[in-house]
């Protein structure tokens, strides 16, 4: 167990089991040992590869979507472009390149990157340095971003937000917690007291024993706030993730290391994520009276597979891939500046 795991185990020993949401927050964002706070997790040398790292077309299409929504809404002035969890800044770089087709969109645009990791902020500053003072950073999406038209992008962001899990038992729905066993190793345990009835939506009542209900209070609150801003100020949000159209009763929590799934409770220093569900997000959008995924201004795109090999092969055949900064070929998957068929074609 690493140092962060030891500190988490010591906290549990002193205060008792913690919720999965608390565990995820510490494992991913602890300033000294948190996964995102201390490393660059992307690319072939990291733990996962996201769509912007495969093809510049992904970010360019998202950028053009923003321009189209802006045009459809009468080209409002003093707008704000926000990306949640911008990684290395690759998606934003590609989106801004595509947005040059509409100089008026860029003229008075404020760009905000919502990023808590100092390591990733440094990478973003380096990639996006040409935009200078037009870009600013913030740790979270808050009320300061609600005063003008909002154009928001989020790629594989919501799946890494902390969640709570509840398991159906003969006693009712009991929250799954993280504890430390006799040897100090982290393990799951169920709360001895069932959750209050109000915690579980009524349509979950028919779940079989052993069924799991997952919810992200942070994700729901954030979705509601984004929808509220767009409802009152205009703009649009494009959320891209992998997941399901409806919720079942199985758990989706996983750890990822070297692009492969790992045992969650024993890999607290690796990436932790889950599969999303449109069922969990769309009610909050509707409550805020913003358009839903059936209407362009607030759209959620969910892939039903997280199989990296399938996604990689689908993109690789005719994908423009950026060259390395040295100009020399690099090993593994890379982005090149021209159309090129892969060796499998």
Name the maximum alpha-carbon separation found in the chain.
63
Q: Which two tokens stand for residue 97?
A: 């390149």
Cα 195-281-221 angle, rounded to 5 deg: 70
The answer to whether residues 103 and 67 touch, using CB atoms and an 8 Å cutoff, is no
Other Cβ atoms within 10 Å of 60 Cβ, number: 21
How far is Cα 91 from Cα 88, in angstroms, rounded to an integer? Answer: 8
Domains of the chain: 1-306 (3.40.50.12710)
Closest to 5 measured CA to CA, from 341, 287, 300, 264: 264
Tell me how many degrees the CA angle 338-301-67 measures, rounded to the nearest 5: 60
CA distance 261 to 270: 10
Q: What is the DSSP letter of 322?
A: B
One pLDDT digit (tens) per residue for the chain, 345 residues: 778 778 888 888 888 999 989 988 888 777 777 776 666 666 666 666 778 888 899 999 999 999 999 999 999 999 999 999 998 899 999 999 999 999 999 999 999 999 988 888 999 999 999 999 999 999 999 999 999 999 999 998 888 888 898 999 999 899 999 998 877 788 889 999 998 876 777 777 788 899 888 888 898 899 999 999 999 999 999 998 876 665 667 777 766 655 445 545 444 444 444 444 444 455 544 454 454 443 444 454 444 444 333 333 433 333 334 444 444 434 444 443 333 333 433
Query: What is the secondary structure of 51-108 as a DSSP string?
Result: HHHH-HHHHHHHHHHHHHHHHHTT--SS-EEEEES-TTSHHHHHHHHHHTT-HHHHHT
């Amino acid at each position: 167990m690493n140092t962060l795991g030891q500190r988490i185990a010591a906290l549990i020993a002193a205060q008792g089991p913690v919720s999965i949401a608390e565990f995820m927050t510490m494992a991913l964002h602890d300033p000294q040992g948190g996964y995102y706070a201390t490393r660059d997790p992307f690319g072939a040398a990291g733990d996962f590869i996201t769509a912007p790292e495969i093809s510049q077309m992904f970010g360019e299409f998202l950028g053009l979507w923003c321009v189209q929504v802006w045009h459809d809404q009468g080209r409002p002035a003093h707008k704000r472009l926000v990306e949640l969890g911008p990684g290395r800044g690759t998606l934003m770089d590609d989106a801004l390149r595509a947005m040059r087709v509409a100089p008026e969109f860029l003229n008075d645009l404020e760009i905000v990157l919502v990023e808590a990791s100092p390591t990733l902020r440094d990478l973003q500053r380096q990639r996006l340095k040409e935009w200078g003072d037009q870009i600013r950073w913030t740790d979270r999406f808050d009320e300061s971003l609600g005063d003008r038209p909002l154009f928001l992008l989020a790629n594989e962001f919501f799946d890494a937000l902390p969640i709570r899990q509840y398991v159906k038992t003969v006693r009712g729905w009991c929250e799954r917690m993280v504890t430390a066993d006799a040897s100090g190793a982290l393990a799951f345990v169920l709360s001895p007291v069932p959750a209050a009835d109000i915690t579980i939506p009524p349509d979950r009542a028919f779940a079989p024993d052993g069924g799991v209900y997952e919810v992200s209070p942070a994700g729901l609150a954030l979705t509601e706030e984004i929808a509220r801003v767009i409802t009152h100020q205009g703009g649009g949000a494009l959320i891209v993730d992998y997941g399901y159209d409806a919720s079942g009763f199985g758990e989706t929590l996983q750890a990822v290391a070297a692009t492969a799934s790992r045992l969650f409770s024993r890999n607290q220093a690796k990436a932790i994520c889950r599969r999303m569900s449109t069922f969990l997000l769309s009610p909050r959008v509707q409550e805020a009276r913003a358009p839903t995924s059936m209407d362009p201004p607030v759209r959620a795109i969910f892939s039903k597979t997280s199989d990296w090999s399938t996604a990689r092969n689908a993109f690789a055949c005719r994908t423009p891939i950026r060259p390395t900064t040295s100009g020399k070929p690099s090993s593994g998957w890379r982005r090149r500046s021209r159309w090129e068929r892969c060796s499998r074609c």
